[in-house]
Amino acid sequence: MSLVINTNVSALIAQQNLAVSNSQLKVSVARLSSGFRINSAADDAAGLGRADQLRSQSRMIQASIRNINDGVSALEISDKASEQITNIVTRMGELAASAAQGTLDDSNRSYYNDEYNKLIDEIDRIANTTEFGGYKILNGSTTALTMFIGFKNSANDQLSISLNALTTGGLGLVAGAISTQAGALSALDSVSAALKTINDARAIYGASTNRLSAALSNLQVTFTNYQAAESRIRDADFAFETAQYTRNQIMVQAGTSILAQANQLPQNVLGLLR
């Protein structure tokens, strides 16, 4: 083996290997300090793409979960307002039954009719003031609520819920209906029909709420699974990374020591000059 002093090949090899070990140690430090196995596209380009897609879909699922909760809130508001209208219509039926009594003259029947008319106004007031998110949900101006409950542009990612008009016009109730005995008897049929319309609307609210609850449960499970899938791709395995960090740290220390020794090799030439 020749001895040279201008080019220390051993030191160059040691430097090259030390640079590789330093690079691997930096990767280990980055992974352990961030908690991620993938900190840049260079770490795993394909894995980064898949993990980012899962993260994006998870964020959209979170938005859809909020959308469903908003939908449930709108339906609960509709149902409670409808319950009050049901109570009012029930009272109106009671007034109509009282006004249908043949022993009353129209002057006495007017007392029942006055309350009946006031209740008519209250139904319309409730229907016209019940709203959610700026939409009137009982007066017929909004015929359906369409909610986005997925993370893609498809029909299955949207849910439309029909809304019935619960104004007195939609319920077939009119003011002054029980001012006469004949009118009171006719009003009994109108009250029965109105109650059926309200109950049909409330059935839609209840069934739709249950459907939204099922969709919410499914999205929550999907979100958890997507988070787990992203974690398996992106997150660092600390048991493995700690072992790698220890190995790389030893390699850097060993490389540094060997480089120091390689730098001493040209001094062997001095032995020939003595």
pLDDT of residue 261: 87
pLDDT of residue 273: 74
Q: Classify 235 as helix, strand or coil.
A: strand
- pLDDT exceeds 70 at position 141: yes
CA–CA distance, 4 with 92 (Å, rounded to integer): 113
- pLDDT exceeds 80 at position 268: no
- pLDDT exceeds 90 at position 7: no
pLDDT of residue 253: 92
Contact 120, 175 (CB under 8 A): yes
pLDDT of residue 8: 83
- pLDDT exceeds 90 at position 66: yes
Q: Which class is 46-234 in CATH?
A: mainly alpha
- pLDDT exceeds 80 at position 2: no
Q: What is the pLDDT of residues 169-222, one digit of tens each?
A: 999 999 999 999 999 999 999 999 999 999 999 999 999 999 999 999 999 999
Q: What percent of the chain stands above pLDDT 70? A: 99
| C-alpha 213: how far from chain center | 12
CA atoms within 13 A of residue 193's CA, in its CB half-sphere: 12
Q: What is the pLDDT of residues 73-125, one digit of tens each?
A: 999 999 999 999 999 999 999 999 999 998 888 888 899 999 999 999 999 99
pLDDT of residue 137: 93
pLDDT of residue 212: 94
The mean predicted confidence, pLDDT, of the chain is: 91
Higher-pLDDT residue of 19 and 7 is 19
Higher-pLDDT residue of 235 and 6 is 235
* Across 76-80, 122-126, 242-246, 264-268, least confident range: 264-268
pLDDT of residue 258: 87
55 class by beta-carbon count within 10 Å (0-12 exposed, 13-18 middle, 19+ buried) = middle
DSSP-assigned states of every residue in 174-224: -TTTTSSHHHHHHHHHHHHHHHHHHHHHHHHHHHHHHHHHHHHHHHHHHHH
pTM over 0.85: no
pLDDT of residue 105: 87
- pLDDT exceeds 80 at position 236: yes
CA–CA distance, 131 with 136 (Å, rounded to integer): 4
